[in-house]
Amino acid sequence: MKGENYMHLEFPSRSSNEAFARSAVAAFAAQLDPTLDELGDIKTAVSEAVTNCIVHAYPNELGPIIIKAKIIGDNVLDITVKDRGCGIADIEQARKPMFTTGGEERSGMGITIMESFMTEFRIQSTLHKGTSVHMKRRILPRGGGK
């Protein structure tokens, strides 16, 4: 039996790294042969998770963002985006659409978007220790009967 495939990235919370993270995960996910819509959903969810780290976890400093992705059984892409930032004081409040701590220019829809674009979504956070977003996306097999 073939072993699972995985990747691990770590980079500073610079806004210029958001596109890098999105592209790296999309390139990794390509081995599952996703549709353009599926790939777009994955890229958007990763972008939202990384942007939340940049804007909310490290508002006044740079810090590490860690992305782990793996392919698991039944064509599932498993992604974790983690920071070691300030943490989320109230996760239930943060999950509400339109809630943001990032100022007027932020929409407050990041968690809602991630949750709606993924098959599974989980978030854990500890104040002053960081936040971990765990997302799974099942990629529908293509090719009729393969």
Query: Per-residue pLDDT tens for 22-32?
Result: 999 999 999 99
- Give backbone dihedrals phi and psi of 5, rounded to 5 degrees, phi first: -100, 150
List the structure tokens of 7. 């990747």
Helix (H) or strand (E) holding 5: none
pTM, full prediction: 0.85
Residue that is written with structure tokens 């599932």 in the block: 76
Q: Locate tokens 């943060």: which residue? A: 94
Average pLDDT, the chain: 87
Radius of gyration of the chain (CA): 15
Q: Which fold has domain 6-138?
A: Heat Shock Protein 90 (3.30.565)
The tens digit of pLDDT for each residue in 45-67 reads 999 999 999 988 998 999 999 99
- Would you list the domain boundaries of the chain? 6-138
Kindly list the catalytic residues: 48, 52, 106
Which residue shows structure tokens 């039996």? 1
d(CA 19, CA 131): 20
